[in-house]
Structures are given as structure tokens and as C-alpha cells.
Amino acid sequence: MIEALSHITLITSDLERMSAIVEEVLDGKEIYSSGDDTFSISREKFFIVGGQWIAVMEGESLPTRTYNHIAFKIAASEIDEYRARIEKLGLEMRESRPRVEGEGHSLYFYDHDNHLFELHTGTLEERLERYRRGAAA
């Protein structure tokens, strides 16, 4: 039986640049850096982001951008603060998809390796309740 999500690993062409994104935008705390050692397939760093283990490893960037993404929960009152953090690092933002009222709001941005991140203000419970009310609500 699956107990929980263990970790998320992202491959990056520039470990330091990705570390800046994880720390400065996602509030990640670095808990490990391999330095020049390679216990896995390449140099790596581990972070804790919102209680979740995020691993970043050196390697080739994704060849294309897609809508596959990782979403992190933020408070609605913090949207402008996070937008400023993203803009400060010069990261490309993606337009949010069309939403129905009550579904929450999102900021989407790409890192330099074509990973898409979402900072989302809603919860699963709020979204399901909104969808239960139907399109006319």
C-alpha cells in the first residue's frame, strides 16, 4: 500500500540556478548537497519545501515545455509577493488557464529546464465543492 509521496526529483542543467528558484521562490530549505560526490547518478541537492522532500540533480534539461507541473499551496493573500519573487529571478510566467469562480487562483512559471511550477491558492475540497455546484453557479 502507498503510504505517502516520498520525494520529487527534478533534473537541472544548473544546480545553483535551480537552488535559487527552490530557495527564493518556493521557500525551500537546503538539507543536503553532494558537492563533487555522486552517490546517485549525478551531483544533487535535497530540499524541504512545505514539508516535502525535493531532490534536484544535474543533467540535461527537458527538451520541451508541457502542462505537466508541480503545484504548491500558497495563501491567497501572498499571490503578489510570490509574483514578485518569480519576476525578480526573471522566470517566464505562463498565463493561468481559464477558471470558474471559487476554484482558487494560480501563478504558473517555468524554470530554465522547462519544468512548470504552479503556486495555487485553493484546496481540493474547495474545488470539488465548486464543481458539485455546477457550471451555473
Count of structural domains, the chain: 1
In-domain check, residue 13: yes
Which domain covers residue 63, as residue numbers? Answer: 7-133
- The Cα 26–Cα 38 span in angstroms is 25
- The Cα 87–Cα 93 span in angstroms is 8
User: 99 pLDDT band (50/70/90 cuts)?
Assistant: low
- Catalytic (active-site) positions: 44
CATH assignment at residue 46: 3.10.180.10
* Length reported for the chain: 137
For the entire predicted model, the pTM comes to 0.87
In-domain check, residue 2: no
Per-residue pLDDT tens digits for 15-53? 999 999 999 999 999 999 998 888 888 999 999 999 999
In-domain check, residue 123: yes
The torsion angle over the Cα atoms of residues 128, 130, 136 and 137, rounded to 10 degrees, is 160
Q: Tell me, what's the pLDDT at 114?
A: 97
- The Cα 30–Cα 45 span in angstroms is 7
Three-class SS of residue 73? strand
Q: Tell me, what's the pLDDT at 41?
A: 85
Cell of 88: 525578480
Cell of 119: 503556486
- The Cα 10–Cα 136 span in angstroms is 40
Angstrom CA distances, 85 to 38, 107, 119, stand at 31, 11, 12
In-domain check, residue 35: yes
The answer to whether 118 and 107 have CB atoms below 8 angstroms apart is yes
In-domain check, residue 96: yes
In-domain check, residue 1: no
In-domain check, residue 39: yes
In-domain check, residue 68: yes
